[in-house]
A and B are shown apart, each in its own frame.
Chain A
Amino acid sequence: MRDYLVKRIIVSLLVLWIVASLNFIIFQVVSPINPVDTFAPSSLDIEPGQLERLRDVFGMNDPLHIRYLKYTRNMFTFEFGISFISRRPVVEEIAQRLPATVLLLGSATIAVILVGVPLGILAASKRGSKLDVTAIGAGLFTYGVPVFYIQLLFMLALSYYIRIFPVRGLYSIPAPTNPFTFMGDVAWHIALPVLTLVVGGFGGWALYTRNVLLDALTQDYIVTARAKGLSERTVLYRHAFRSTLPPIVTIIALSIPGIITGAMITEYIFTLPGIGRWYLDALTQADYPVLQTVLFLYAILTIICNLIADLLYGVLDPRIRVGMRR
């Protein structure tokens, strides 16, 4: 087990290094846009000497391999630099924007799982019923319906036609001073984004759970359990469901990176001050330090989630656990 863990971590670090290098290549080697130009646009009318000094400060005059080494060192020591636009340390800005994203995604992910997984279990236990057909339909729908469209429709209906939800932001301006009213205010602002993420996502979870559970229900040991005369409830929850846990937990871990990058669109639509919206703003303003950092952090997150998924699978599934020990 430990050997396996060590091997996985080494591979993960390697992947992270490659991602960081790709990042470097994209933004600093082949990029057609020069960061110094962004920092000091020609409209500012800066003297050539000063521009040269600025290049020095940014290390643009170093040879490529030196820049690459510096860049790698900075990335792996979480030295992310200063945003071109706000002129503040990137780390500070992340800390400021993280709460919105975590709040949005945390509540949306929990809600969507709480709706989707039970629906999938019910659908599988009543295969062929109306509920089952609904679950399949909802699942197929998730593959064909852009979540941002659902969000636009909900926004049109509930923020513009019937004005019960706010159009933008994480809290009212000015924000309520009383902490309880403030929490209520935030909840009111975040209700529609979360609701729409659940509407757009629960079908996928239901369909996945259903298929995994159905798979389990066709196994021989279920036939045995039924043959023993166990009640259908016992068969379903004690025998079949147990074996669906590893794939479901795995898919939760694996889906987190996708949910987070997907939240970019949600934050864009509802003007939430999170990481995703920050990234989009940075893109349109060519704020390189921010772009590099966010991409790097997304990659770290994906890698960690993949690692967790792998390990959880081993921990939760005795068959794999034994296999790893060997």
Chain B
Amino acid sequence: MASLFSKNARIVLVRRIKGFWEEFRTKKVGLFGLGLLLVYVFFALTAQWLTPYDPMSQPRLAQSYAMPEWVTLFPQYRDYVKTREWPFNWEIQSGDKFVTGWGSTVNIAFNTATPAEVKLVNKVDFQQIAPNEFFSKFRYEAANIQNAEYSLTLEFITPNGTRYRFWTSPTSSEDEAEDVNLDSKNPIFILGLGFPLQRNVGRAIFDLKGEYTFGMMVQYRPLSSSAHSEVVIKEAKLVTMGQVHGILGTDYLAKDIFTGLIYGARMSLTIGLLAAIVGTSIGIFVGVASGYLGGYVDEIAMRIVDILICLPLLPLLLALVYLYGRNVFYIVVFIAVFGWQGLARIIRAQTLSIREAAYIDTARASGAGGFYIMLRHIVPNIIPVAFASMVLAVPGAILFEAALSFLGFGDPSVPTWGMMLQHAFSFGGFTHLAWWWIIPPGLAIIGLCLAFVFIGYAFDEIVNPRLRRRR
């Protein structure tokens, strides 16, 4: 912009901006909007430090549809707990002569010619309400197997003595290393326990408070007299998924909603600003050119505007996005390219009136070319109006993108508020009454849009003298 103006013009510009700010400062609505916008900018810029999670891929943090942590302040949710990890500390129940090391990692070495077994137990003192989801995992490594068979079995015993066989390894005579993952959401696991598929396993087996026991049995059977086998069990743990998680709970995939929300600010700000800047630039360009040059240019430009006004924007953009790819870049371009017609008309009208000003005649008489006049004399004069209109175009673009995403035509690879609402609408947010999932994205959209609307309203009052208050 600096090269656009001479030094004097720059001083004038600085003075004008200062004067503009002096006037803007008196508009409460505008200042409120600006403050609100700064909050969003802060969140957008610091997103990666405000949340430890990645917005698109996260491990399971809690159960699906977990409520926010702070709901435990209310009596009806007082019992809800966060996700808890229970690391195992194995104790030896039998066969201790084969165990060379125990604790969180257990080393077992068999070298007898008779069958043997080692029984390990881990006790979990469980004093909270039953989890809806849990998983248990461990790793076993069998090495140096010589002429022997071995097998492992994991049992689960509830305080009242009910036994569940969680997992059994196939009988093997070879070296193996495997991570075992027992997930209460896994249908094979559910059926293996003898429950029907729709049963909530977590609530069924953790229905009591008290001491639960994990029992690991390692069996060894020699095939000849020189048999030998070593088994290591490690990294075992039980994880009970929380009914509550974080500031805003989780969604259907157990992803952190707060993370999606603050990264959404980044996306919405970028989309809104980019689309508005590009659209406004096209509007200024077309408006000034058609207003100043007139003739054919004007005729063609205004007919294009007529056509654009007759296009059904939402259905058309949905079709374009569907056909050419759900890509956020395309979406921005489409919104910009189909969104400048109104501004072009306003700018054209302004240009027409500026064109008749005496100083334009003076410039022309002193030999200034059309391009020079447009750039030096007309554009600076319409910038205030264009700027106000650009600020007001941002919420339009944000809302449009949100609508596209909500209808399922957003870019699936970026986190946006519209997509959060789409997921909440399509994937059980309503049947689970997940207000913590449905309400925040919309409030975020409203806040950001209103920030721009308020700023734009204040701008409009400054640049459009007719709107000035009489008092």
Contacts and interface: CB of A to CB of B under 8 A. Distances in A.
Contacts of B324: 32
B435 interface: yes
B314 A261 contact: yes
A262 B312 CA distance: 10
A156 B407 contact: no
Contacts of A262: 314
B121 interface: no
Interface string B299-340: 000000011011111111011101110000000000000000
Contacts of A144: 395, 399, 446, 449-450, 452-453
21 contacts: A32-B324, A128-B471, A140-B453, A141-B450, A146-B402, A146-B406, A148-B421, A149-B442, A149-B445, A152-B421, A155-B430, A156-B430, A156-B433, A161-B433, A261-B312, A261-B313, A262-B314, A283-B318, A295-B315, A299-B310, A302-B311
Interface string A134-162: 00000011011110110011011000110
Contact of B315 (A15, A145, A161, A264): A264
A251 interface: no
B315 A140 contact: no
A11 B408 CA distance: 36
Contacts of A265: 403, 406-407
Interface residues of B, number: 46
A20 to B, nearest CB: 11
Interface of A: 11, 15-16, 18-19, 22, 26-27, 31-33, 128, 140-141, 143-146, 148-149, 152-153, 155-156, 160-161, 167, 215, 257, 261-262, 264-265, 268-269, 279-280, 283-284, 291, 294-295, 298-299, 301-303, 306
B206 interface: no
B319 A283 contact: yes
Contacts of B407: 264-265, 268, 280
Given A152-B425, A156-B438, A283-B322, A302 B403 contact: no
Given A144-B395, A265-B406, A283-B409, 15 more contacts: A26-B323, A32-B323, A144-B453, A145-B449, A146-B399, A146-B406, A152-B421, A156-B438, A160-B431, A264-B407, A279-B315, A283-B318, A283-B319, A291-B319, A306-B310
Question: Which one of B320, B396, B407, B409 has the highest number of Cβ atoms from chain A below 10 Å of its Cβ?
Answer: B407
B459 interface: no
Contacts of A280: 318, 407
Interface of B: 306-307, 309-316, 318-320, 322-324, 392, 395-396, 399, 402-403, 406-409, 421, 424-425, 430-431, 433, 435, 438-439, 442, 445-446, 449-450, 452-454, 457, 466, 471
- Nearest 9 pairs of A and B residues by beta carbon: A144-B449, A298-B312, A149-B442, A144-B450, A261-B314, A302-B310, A144-B453, A143-B453, A303-B310
A160 B433 CA distance: 7
B37 to A, nearest CB: 12
B74 to A, nearest CB: 16
A153 B310 contact: no
Nearest to A302: B310
Contacts of A299: 310-312
A26 B319 contact: yes
A33 B438 contact: no
A18 B396 CA distance: 26
A140 B457 contact: yes
B310 A19 contact: yes
Contacts of B408: 284
Contacts of A298: 312, 315
A279 B318 CA distance: 10
Contacts of A264: 314-315, 407
A272 to B, nearest CB: 15
A97 B409 CA distance: 23
Contacts of B446: 144-146, 149
A31 B323 contact: yes
A154 to B, nearest CB: 11
B315 A294 contact: yes
A153 B439 contact: yes
B315 A143 contact: no
Contacts of A279: 315, 318
A284 to B, nearest CB: 8
Contact of B435 (A16, A156, A291): A156
A295 B425 CA distance: 26
Contacts of A143: 392, 395-396, 449, 453
B312 A302 contact: yes
A284 B319 CA distance: 9
A27 B453 CA distance: 36
A146 B445 contact: yes
Given A19-B311, A145-B449, A152 B442 contact: yes
Nearest to A262: B314
Nearest to B309: A306
A15 B312 CA distance: 13
A303 B311 CA distance: 9
Nearest to A305: B310
A5 to B, nearest CB: 16
Nearest to B324: A32
A168 to B, nearest CB: 11
Contacts of B425: 152, 269
A18 B312 CA distance: 13
Contacts of B315: 261, 264, 279, 294-295, 298
A33 B320 CA distance: 12
